[in-house]
Amino acid sequence: MTIEADIEAFREGSRRSLSTAAARNLATTTKSAPQMRGISSRWLLRRLPWVEVSGGTYRVNRRLSLAVGRGRVGFVQTGADDVRIIPETLRELPALRGFGDDALLRELAGRFTAREFRSGEVIVEEGAPIGEVFIVAHGRIERIVTGKYGDQETRGVLADGDHLGDEALLQTDPLWTATFKAATAGTILAISWNSFQELFHRSEELRSHIGEFLATASRKVNSKGEVEVTVAAGHEGEAEIPGTFVDYDLAPREYELAPTQTILRVHSRVADLYNDPMDQIEEQLKLTIQEIRERQEWELLNNRDFGLLHNADYDQRINTWSGPPTPDDMDDLLSMRRGTDLFLAHPKAIAAFFRECTKRGIYPEHAEVDGHRVPAWRGVPIFPSGKIPVTGGQMSSILAMRTGEHRQGVVGLHQTGIPDEYEPGLNVRFMGIDDQAIIKYLVTAYASVAILVQDAVGVLENVHVAAPRS
């Protein structure tokens, strides 16, 4: 009954007892602790094995590798028909990795010309001489090879930023080893070998750099690009046994613990007078720490310096075959490493995968993890993470990873036992009271993530997550 109804009832002389609205003035209200919607499951923080980093820096020592990864070239679009290469990103081509002449890179980028292609168009034919280098600006191109019995097999998909034709540097008689056919309409940028050779003969620095690249590429390596260790097997008698040694990377990567920080401010009057039945500073800290942990997980995925999405090796990135994530795509992602402990995907990507499974009459299994029933594929649990971006409301990525130091996988990095520690790897430090009687606390969490071996993380890119219109 409302207050207006109470007044009307009294006027009519019908009230015979105290109203609940008046009685509540003498009652103690039962209340909850402050709640927040922004708390997620934070599966990445929960599933990563954490390594203690006592010195604040973690060095990943690896066997010497001579394989130069193939990165993604970047573009800028100034109009509907004006797509240009960002010159510095040409260093993502293996032959130009580490090349220092920015002026020459700008000139080289300016020599690429844009070319439109249609869905179904053959860009190049298998067995034809390589006369151009292509960089995909937009669209999807299938790599098709001739199988053992003459049938055509699709062996991969190229998308934005991928390049083809530069492998001709490693061949004496360069021929296309596959047919490249457009799966969608799009744009490629092309440069002829004659144009590139003109720059090559003109620049002493370019000739020297590519000469070093070719010398390195000629050294013997194993299937993973690591310097070969010579061994003998299957011999008889007194055969001479070869000597060898395992060479190390002379410039191993180091990961520093990255801070996630904020300053919590609480007025002293609030802390003095409004602390019963709940401690105001304690409740403020609880919610602040939750937000810091959320941001910490976001950084482990998206930070450009150490985040998994940006630091996964380009050789461990694949595109979907048709757009939405299919069982075939997930199998391809699994096959890229010797063991996979978990998938991590945006909930929309998981829903899109389930739609594709339903179309095929496949029903993915589930796995029990810490008392939770989570979806799984081939026995590998699929954990949701809303911190994996969905660009344009349509495109996302799916990560697959192997974890743990003993498995040469992905590890989380933190340091415990820090001063004023409140939680492992997180401290709360009193900063004093200012002239406005505001109490300040510095809340800091230190963490990072390291990929021990390149194949520990794989990424399925350009995952179309938008539900089809009915």
- Which parts of the chain have pLDDT scores under 70? 1-15, 66-70, 78-81, 217-219, 221, 223-225, 468-470
- Kindly report, residue by residue over 129-182, the tens digit of the pLDDT: 888 889 998 888 988 888 878 788 888 888 888 888 887 777 777 888 889 998
SS (H, E, C) the chain: CCHHHHHHHHHCCCCCCCCHHHHHHHCCCCCCCCCCCCCCCCHHHHHCCEEECCCCEEEECCECECCCCCCCCCEEEEECCEEEECHHHHHHCHHHCCCCCHHHHHHHHHCCEEEEECCCCEEECCCCECCEEEEEEECCEEEEEECCCCCEEEEEEECCCCEECHHHHHCCCCECCCEEEECCCEEEEEEEHHHHHHHHHHCHHHHHHHHHHHHHHCCCECCCCEECCCCCCCCCCCCCCCCCCCCECCCCEEEECEEEEEEEEEEHHHHHHCCCCCCHHHHHHHHHHHHHHHHHHHHHHHCCCCCHHHHCCHHHEEECCCCCCCHHHHHHHHCCCCCCCEEEECHHHHHHHHHHHHHCCCCCCEEEECCEEEEEECCEEEEECCCCCCECCCEEEEEEECECCCCCCEEEEECCCCCCEEECCEEEEEEEECCCCEEEEEEEEEEEEEECCHHHEEEEEEEECCCCCC
pTM value is 0.79
Q: What is the pLDDT of residue 3?
A: 61
How much is the pLDDT for 470? 54
pLDDT value of position 172: 74
pLDDT value of position 248: 77
